[in-house]
Amino acid sequence: MTSRTSLQTRILAVAALSMGCSLIGSAFGFYYVKVFLNYYHIEENWFQLSQTLFLIWNAINDPLFAYFQDSTNFRCSRTRRESVLYAAPFFALSFLVPWFPWGNPETLQPWVTGIHLITALCFWDTMFTYVGLAACCLFTEMTKDNTERLKMIKYNQIGCLMGSSSVFLLQYMSNQLENFQAFQATCVAVAVVSCLLMMYCGKHAHTERELQHESDVQCGKPKVMKSQEHSYFTLTKQLLFNRDFISFVITNFFQEFHRTFLSNFFAIFADQLIVKGAIPPLVRSLFYGASSTGAKLIVIFGTGIVSRFGYYKVIRYSQIFMIAYGLIYYMTGPINHWCLMFFMLLNSFLADSIFSLFNLPLSDIADNDMARYNRRHPVTSMVYGINALVVKPAISLSPMLVVSILNSYGYDRLKDGKLDAVEETGLSGAMFSVLCLYPFVIGCIQFCSWSFYTIRGTKSAEITCHVLKSTSECST
């Protein structure tokens, strides 16, 4: 087997992981807020408390798991692929926790539903973090060639595209959550398929470093065990004083803030702004399904553009475009249902497609860090983990902010049918304003923060030369 064929097989294994994660990730983000708000009728104070605890756990677990994966040699953390292999069943199980209420939702005490959401979010994020860190590190450590990394992004997006069909499948099978038992049964099937795909990746996704270690052992050389010459706090300090890293994580924080808003509230906003009967049910299902699949198609067919212009310019132009269309649509107002659907899809496509490129700057930052500090082995998990430490709170803060805004306009009373026509019009207007101002405000902030990023798509070899300032070596 040639090295290229071997790499192709490993890339396909990572694509299987992307598909498995997307199957459950798309559905979890799309449904959990709607299920707990509209089906379980969770009270706002319990929802806000659960999101606050979720935020704290998010901030703690990412860097801890990152250091664990980079520094320990347990069976579940020896290699990136084994981290995926042993965590896959628990990750699939964490997906199922929200969809099975702890009793009759109509008679449950509010605190039971609140504890249910807290448990579901923390269990989900624990497994999402552990598997997600390993998946990101597989992307960075599988190859250092930017062309191959773009190819991996393309294959990963194909996997994500196939996986994101779970939203359309669940919409269809449950008749848009009208049949909750069918929704639950479909979720179980989705979880099983996802687990099998992730375990396949855990068997076949060898990194270059892992293959080198296996070759050394076969040649009689001692296997190099993972260890850190620096403490956890020293590594954290080194990363947090990196200008490129800070610039990136600020941009990433607001990207996640935007994506979480779209993922959690897309259906809620669409149900309110596009009244029932305005479009056929099949079109509505396709509309919801397209919100999670269209971005993948853009990335699959747009990798050539990224290769030509570099990820820095593509991300920069997307920010300018986001500022423009958010402001223009806010000024024109909701013209009709079809224009609103187009705007919502455009917003969702851009947010998700640009986010899929963010592993490229993180990989460059990890390569840069290894060269700068002359490390014996990369601390890729730490790079992704500290990034998550800053970024993950957005996953909680975004829904907390939006739920607070909506309830101030009566959304909590709308669910109980206690909102009159005038108040409902005000709620719809507030939803439209939030929908337009999110991309405008976030785009402005990202435009400023991204200006301080200096790598700008530079090849890894050039980064290394710049960091080490080896002018004589670079000139060759």
pLDDT given for residue 221 in this prediction = 46
Identity at 4, one-letter amino acid code: R
Q: How many CA atoms lie within 13 A of 441 on its CB side?
A: 9
Q: Across the chain, which distance is largest between two alpha carbons, in Å?
A: 79
Which residue's entry shows tokens 């919100």?
Answer: 291
pLDDT given for residue 285 in this prediction = 77
Number of C-beta neighbours around residue 320 at 10 A:
11
What is d(CA 310, CA 307) in angstroms, rounded to the nearest whole number? 6
Which region among 20-34, 115-129, 157-171, 434-448 has the lowest average model confidence (pLDDT)? 157-171
Q: How many CA atoms lie within 13 A of 164 on its CB side?
A: 22
| Residue 359 pLDDT > 90 | no
pLDDT band at 448 (very low <50, low <70, confident <90, very high): very high
User: pTM for the complete prediction?
Assistant: 0.72
Among 97, 124, 125, 79, which residue's Cα sits nearest to residue 40? Answer: 97
What is the overall mean pLDDT for the chain? 82
Per the model's pLDDT, the better-predicted residue between 7 and 442 turns out to be 442
The domain over range 3-211+231-474 is classified in CATH as 2.40.160.40: no
Give the model confidence (pLDDT) of 82-96 as tens digits. 889 999 999 999 999
The answer to whether 370 and 379 have CB atoms below 8 angstroms apart is: yes
Mean predicted confidence (pLDDT) in 335-358: 90
The answer to whether 366 and 358 have CB atoms below 8 angstroms apart is: no
Number of C-beta neighbours around residue 472 at 10 A:
7
Enter the tokens of residue 91: 């990750």
Which residue's entry shows tokens 């270690």?
Answer: 213
Give the model confidence (pLDDT) of 427-437 as tens digits. 888 999 999 99
pLDDT band at 475 (very low <50, low <70, confident <90, very high): very low
DSSP 335: -
Which residue's entry shows tokens 């060759």?
Answer: 476
Give the relative orientation of helices 3-34 and 281-309 as an angle to the nearest 10 degrees. 140
Which residues, in sequence order, are CB contacts of 365 under 8 Å at separation 6+?
Answer: 242, 244, 245, 248, 383, 455
pLDDT band at 439 (very low <50, low <70, confident <90, very high): very high
pLDDT given for residue 217 in this prediction = 44
Which residues, in sequence order, are CB contacts of 306 under 8 Å at separation 6+?
Answer: 150, 314, 357, 360
pLDDT band at 441 (very low <50, low <70, confident <90, very high): very high
What percentage of the chain carries pLDDT values higher than 90? 30
Give the model confidence (pLDDT) of 279-313 as tens digits. 887 888 788 878 877 888 888 888 888 888 889 99
